[in-house]
Amino acid sequence: MLAPPSGRDSAPGFPPPVLPEPEKPLGVWKRPVKHLGVIWTVALVCTAWTAGLFGVYVGARIERRAPSTTYRNSTQPVTLGNPRSKAFDQRLDVAGVSARMRPSIVTVSTDVSEKGLAGEGVGTGIVLTADGQILTNAHVVNGATQVRVRLAGERNPRSAKILATDPSNDLALLSVDVTGLTPAVLADANNVRVGDDVLAIGYALDLDGEASVTLGIVSALGRTILTDTGALDGMIQTDAAISSGNSGGPLVSAAGEVVGINTAVARSDATNTASSIGFSISMAQVLPEIETLRSMARGVQTAEGFLGIGLAERTDGGRGALVTTVNPDSPAALVGIEAGDIVVRVGGIDIDGSAGVIAAVRGHHPGDEIDVVIDRSGAKETFTVVLVGRPVITG
């Protein structure tokens, strides 16, 4: 299930419990999440409350915020790390690495108003460029009526502008009217390995003072999880403690390079126990997405492919995703995919569950052809589908 942490109008310093589904929850919503055959409670790790559910249809939504003249859409390149070196294999110098990272980490605070309810939220951001471009999670700023960024070493926050958000990839690009910042070094996408020491850094629980630092390792690579806006794939799993307020903060290697963006944690529910399971968006997803967000901020609309099926998890223990509904006249309907089919492969990628289907389709654009392999009553069939686009939602 999915349960974002509650807002700052709840008791500070205590993460919210996972509660039974209320009629109109303030700051808590829940969704079943299946990963590798286990139903987890997955919580997005910002302290903001938001509302609204995403339909299970495979597709994407992308929002663009037009920048003003005050806030720049930077043309400066991001700072990239070197190929993997011996520094990655050494024990992590917690004090040294965290000290080097602190100038590049900011607090992102928001005012949120939705359906007549008001609240505040806090997450973390990473400095991308010296002229004020900041990267954070989309769920940190979604629904915000005002965004503020507090820079390292400053007491008071500055007004910030949302340049672009991509909820389907849970990343957002912000701008602050300032120069002379210290950009974070972003790791080469191939630099991270299972077993590497890492630090999770961020403003956990919006506690006073500097960002919190927790030490762990890379527990696994290539995880796929479901969120309220679809699926996130290629995730880094870590046992470094991640708490409310860490969203958008960096997962940092022993070399002092950002290998991931801290985004979600698994939590125990009535039937499963989760301990020290956090998820970060890997640089393999982040680096190309930064350029996509910059293009969106310039007014270039980006559309992702739409298949037109509703999905559910299998309950018999098998792999694949169950097709529950097919949109009339959708690409799936036109080739003959039916409710009750089990999707086992999309675009050459084997499917374990519905998150895998969503992630596989999300990497394609309208007009792309992909092969969808389904299991229908024990017989495999392959359909070549031409994807179409979903309407782009602009802000």
Residues designated as active site: 139, 170, 247
Nearest to 115 by CA among 33, 24, 180, 184: 24
Amino acid identity, position 98: S
3-state class (DSSP) for residue 288: helix
Cα–Cα distance measured from residue 242 to residue 215, given in angstroms and rounded to the nearest whole number: 10
CB 98 within 8 A of CB 251: no
Is residue 101 within a helix (H) or strand (E), and if so which, with residue range? helix 94-101
Give the position of tokens 């509660």.
19
Farthest CA pair distance, the chain: 64
3-state class (DSSP) for residue 75: coil
Cβ-proximal residues to 61 (8 Å cutoff; 6+ apart), any chain: 54, 167, 168, 229, 390, 392, 393
Distances (CA, A) of 293 to 22, 77, 178: 35, 13, 20
Nearest to 259 by CA among 245, 277, 240: 240
Distances (CA, A) of 76 to 179, 250, 258: 12, 20, 18
Chain Cα centroid distance, residue 391: 21
